[in-house]
Chain A
Amino acid sequence: DAGVIQSPRHEVTEMGQEVTLRCKPISGHNSLFWYRQTMMRGLELLIYFNNNVPIDDSGMPEDRFSAKMPNASFSTLKIQPSEPRDSAVYFCASKEGANYGYTFGSGTRLTVV
C-alpha cells in the first residue's frame, strides 16, 4: 500500500503564478480531503469530496482556489494567482466509506515569494 501520494513535495513560486498541487488517494477510498496547515491557523479543511463529488468547499479561502476530482484516483488543488499568504503545507487525506480514520499524505510545502 503506497498510501496517499502528493506531488510535488516542495514548490516555490513567484507571486501571481498558477500553482497546481496533486493527490492520489489510496485505492478504494471514496472520500478525499484537502487541508492547509500554517502556524497561525493550524490544520484547516479546505474542501472534501465523496465519490468524486465536492461536498463541502466552505473552507476554500477565496475564488483563487479551486479543486477538482476528475476520477477516483486523482485530485488537484489549484491556486491562481498565488499570493505570499498562500504559503503553507497542503495536505491531502483519504478515507474508505464507513472507515472513519483519515490517511494523510506527506504534504506539499508551498512557498510563494
Chain B
Amino acid sequence: GESVGLHLPTLSVQEGDNSIINCAYSNSASDYFIWYKQESGKGPQFIIDIRSNMDKRQGQRVTVLLNKTVKHLSLQIAATQPGDSAVYFCAERRNQGGKLIFGQGTELSVKP
C-alpha cells in the first residue's frame, strides 16, 4: 500500500530575522543535549551542546536554552541567513555510554 510520509514541522522566516526552534525531550534523566543541522544530502552537523546543569549556552549567532522543569530545549539563531536553511534536530543523551536519541526535526526555511 501507499506509505504516508512524516511531515516535519516547518518554520519559515525572513532573512535577518531571529529564529527559534523548539524541542520537547522525553527523558528527565537525560544529562546532555545537542542541536544538529542537516542540509539536503548531507549528514547531521554539530551546532551547539548543553549539559543538564546549565540553562543557557551561547555560540556564534546561536543560543541554546534548556528548561528541565518542562523538558524543553530551544535553539535561537540570530540574524538568520539563507545558509541556515536546513532541518534542525535536537538530541538527548540518556546514559553515560554516549547513546544519543534524536528528535523528529524541524525544517527551517529562510526567505531572502
Contacts and interface: CB of A to CB of B under 8 A. Distances in A.
Interface of A: 4, 31, 33, 35, 39-43, 45, 48, 50, 55-56, 91, 93, 95, 100-107
Majority SS of interface residues in chain A? strand
B100 A106 contact: no
Contact of A91 (B43, B46, B97, B98): B43
A106 B98 contact: no
B6 A39 contact: yes
B6 A42 contact: yes
A35 B97 CA distance: 16
Contact of A43 (B3, B34, B41, B102): B102
Interface residues of B, number: 25
Contacts, number: 59
Contacts of A93: 43
27 contacts: A4-B43, A33-B100, A35-B102, A40-B3, A40-B4, A43-B44, A43-B105, A45-B99, A45-B101, A48-B97, A48-B98, A48-B99, A56-B99, A91-B43, A95-B98, A100-B49, A100-B98, A101-B34, A101-B46, A101-B49, A102-B46, A104-B36, A104-B44, A106-B42, A106-B43, A107-B42, A107-B43
B5 interface: yes
A34 to B, nearest CB: 12
B93 interface: yes
Contacts of A102: 34, 44, 46, 100
